[in-house]
Amino acid sequence: MKLLHTSINVKNMDESITFYTSNLGMRLRSRREIKHNNAEIAFLEIEGTNHNIELTWWKDKKDYSEGDQLDHIAFGVSDMDGTMQRFREKGVEVAKEPYSMGDHRIAFIKDPNGIWIELIEQK
């Protein structure tokens, strides 16, 4: 068994696609309407992996509680300080500043839907 994709419920498809492509370097692979569910989905590729993120926008959904859509997604970074500086310059919300945990430095940012994104720098 292998992990194929992770799905995240989003409030605004365009804003979420822009966030993941502009800030995390993902590439939009496909986007389509799911008429029978009154929804839209988009798949974003993570370069260098076989894993994709699926963004799901339920057009009728009005009630979103921050953090209920997904706990977090984790990405490896090679330069935590430089990465955090780039995110700050782009106005990305920092949820938790970098801290050390064993052989790793960890930080969290938030996407436009309140989903926490963990950044891990291995020493």
Active site (catalytic) residues: 118
63: Cβ–Cβ under 8 A, 6 or more apart, which residues?
Answer: none
Provide the residue type at 40 as one letter.
E
* C-alpha torsion angle, residues 77, 42, 109, 12 (rounded to 10): 160
The whole-angstrom separation of Cα 80 and Cα 2 is 28
Work out whether strand 72-76 and strand 52-58 pair parallel, antiparallel, or are unpaired.
unpaired
